[in-house]
Structure 1
Amino acid sequence: MANDRQNLYFYYPPNEELDEKLKPLFRLAEENGFTILEDPKHANIIVSVGGDGTFLQAVRKTGFRQDCLYVGIRREDEAGLYCDFNIDDFDKMVDSMVNADLEVRRFPVIETTVNNESTMLCLNECSVRSTLIKTIVIDVFIDGRQFETFRGDGLVVSTPTGSTGYNKSTKGAVIDPRLPCFQVSELASLNNNRYRTLGSPFVLGNERTLKLKVQQDGNDYPIIGMDNEAFSIRNIKELSIQLSDHVIKTVKMKDNTFWDRVQRTFL
């Protein structure tokens, strides 16, 4: 790996057992010219340890940085669609990074603007769900034109890599991350003479803008899910969602494609 990629920051939940297990990796990394930092601001490689959920948190907590690479390490009992390395295979990981047996992959990110004010990024998905024991009503617009009026438990808007998560559990399609797009899927929609939706997931290209207007009928405080974090924001009226110019750069083994990992995880 290039000499300008030598500063590592490890992100993982505090855990004494994991601290001990990582000590051999720290020593091996330092012996091969890497510097381990305690502040992610000065790192050019951010390493998450703990599966996909931890990887999403690592990206979010470090600000979706564009000037560094993200690396995921998983344990045997954890999902690893974002993680190319196994915690029990230190030698292979360090050897690959030192000898540049890696490729850089770029994952699309979506950005969500709430009420034309706050904008947040998502690597996996943005979801809108009712907090009440009643359905939520959302007017759906594509490029400024009304497409449908949804009534149900909520909507999930996912990136291609996020298509294997919450989106897949709603019968959405798994999408190749090389396609610059995002997907919209429904949560328990009601279809009758008054409310009619497409009734299936749909995919929007990178130049499209999706606008979701929440009808104020008591569901004024829906839960907004950003990856694996939930936000309760007062008086949600409108969400504007589009593909961001940001991408998350990760390293991958040349023999471990996205579809290899999908096969390993689901088949």
Structure 2
Amino acid sequence: MTDRSNIYFFHNQSTETINQIASLHELAERYGFTIVDHFQQANIIISVGGDGTFLQAVRKTGFKQDSLYVGISTKRELGMYCDFNIDDLSAMIEAMTQAKIEVRKYPTILVNIDNEGSFYCLNEFSIRSGIIKTFVMDVFIDDLHFETFRGDGMLISTPTGSTAYNKSVNGAIVDPLLPCLEVSEIASLNNHRYRTLGSSFILSGSRKLTLRVVANGNDYPTMGMDNEALSIRHVEKAEIQLSDKVIKTVKLKDNSFWEKVKRTFL
């Protein structure tokens, strides 16, 4: 990180967190970094909180392509995006001074709603019934009509997002070195009239997934981008594909994705 010196801290405004941030400011300045007041001036963006804060940091700073993102946890345990703990400043110093840091690039997905607005997601995009009733979507892979889905909703995740909401609906965990999308069903209805694949499936990063909502009185779905709701009421079509944006994150050399998976789930 020798060519990067401007740091922007992203965090909540609680008194406890602000007090904790003071020690990080001191550490950064001691090692020659400059603290900036706006993320557009930064080439290092440090999220202080947890994985949810990290997702918000990426979103609120516009998926910044010329910056490195760093996750610092304020909790006892580290997260999937947080390699450092705020109570262990010595580990940060050792990592900075002894070249124990690597840069990892995480893929993102691009969601286009009715050709009117595009949105990026680092973890996942979800689309679910907005009322207590199943809803129907025609599912297309590229130009192929793959299935007609009826159920509560569908979830499309990145490899890093595969450990989050996707895992809770029995989706597979995917290595982030694979540029791909994972598509998982949420409570699909399968009987002699309606039939879906019934399992998660992986799409190459070169493919496009299209979800076309069938108007049956339930065409106002609830949509989510990572940990944030999407405020669009009437939806006809959502197109999802791997984007050309990647999130460059700082990680410890001895803390790979699969080491994080083992630490978190096993």
**Structure 2 length normalisation: TM-score?**
0.97
Q: Distance in 1 between matches of 2:156 and 2:150?
A: 16
> Does 2:205 match 1:213?
no
Amino acid aligned to 2:235: I
- Alpha-carbon shift at residue 98 of structure 1 (Å): 4.2
CA distances 1:180-214 after superposition (whole Å, capped 9, x unpaired):
00100011000012211000000000111000001
Amino acid aligned to 1:236: V
CA distances 1:123-163 after superposition (whole Å, capped 9, x unpaired):
00000001111001010000111000110100000000000
Q: Distance in 2 between matches of 1:263 and 1:106?
A: 20
Identity %: 61
CA distances 1:60-114 after superposition (whole Å, capped 9, x unpaired):
0000011010000112345610111111111221342344321110001000000
| Aligned positions of 1:67-146 closer than 5 A | 67-77=66-76, 80-146=79-145
Q: Distance in 2 between matches of 1:24 and 1:206?
A: 41
Is the contact made by 2:76 and 2:85 (CA closer than 8 Å) also made in structure 1? no
Q: Distance in 2 between matches of 1:240 and 1:234?
A: 16
Is the contact made by 1:66 and 1:246 (CA closer than 8 Å) also made in structure 2? yes
* Match in the other structure for 1:241: 240
Q: Distance in 2 between matches of 1:186 and 1:91?
A: 44
Amino acid aligned to 2:41: H
- Alpha-carbon shift at residue 25 of structure 1 (Å): 1.9
Q: Distance in 1 between matches of 2:138 and 2:216?
A: 13
Is the contact made by 2:114 and 2:238 (CA closer than 8 Å) also made in structure 1? yes
Q: Distance in 1 between matches of 2:40 and 2:160?
A: 25
Instruction: Give the match's secondary structure for 2:64.
Output: coil
Is the contact made by 1:12 and 1:48 (CA closer than 8 Å) also made in structure 2? yes
* Match in the other structure for 1:25: 24
> Does 2:171 match 1:172?
yes
Is the contact made by 1:110 and 1:243 (CA closer than 8 Å) also made in structure 2? yes
* Match in the other structure for 2:193: 194
Structure 1 consecutive aligned stretches of length 4 or more whose deviation exceeds 6 Å: none
Is the contact made by 1:106 and 1:250 (CA closer than 8 Å) also made in structure 2? yes
Q: Distance in 2 between matches of 1:160 and 1:97?
A: 27
Give the number of aligned pairs.
266
Instruction: Give the match's secondary structure for 1:113.
Output: strand
Q: Distance in 2 between matches of 1:77 and 1:128?
A: 33
Instruction: Give the match's secondary structure for 2:188.
Output: coil
Instruction: Give the match's secondary structure for 1:153.
Output: strand
Is the contact made by 1:51 and 1:78 (CA closer than 8 Å) also made in structure 2? no
- Alpha-carbon shift at residue 234 of structure 1 (Å): 2.3
* Match in the other structure for 1:251: 250
Q: Distance in 1 between matches of 2:134 and 2:182?
A: 21
Is the contact made by 1:225 and 1:231 (CA closer than 8 Å) also made in structure 2? yes
Instruction: Give the match's secondary structure for 2:16.
Output: helix
Q: Distance in 2 between matches of 1:78 and 1:102?
A: 19
Structure 2 unpaired stretches of 5+ = none
Amino acid aligned to 1:180: P
Q: Distance in 2 between matches of 1:91 and 1:79?
A: 16
Is the contact made by 1:222 and 1:232 (CA closer than 8 Å) also made in structure 2? no
**Structure 1 length normalisation: TM-score?**
0.97
Instruction: Give the match's secondary structure for 1:220.
Output: coil
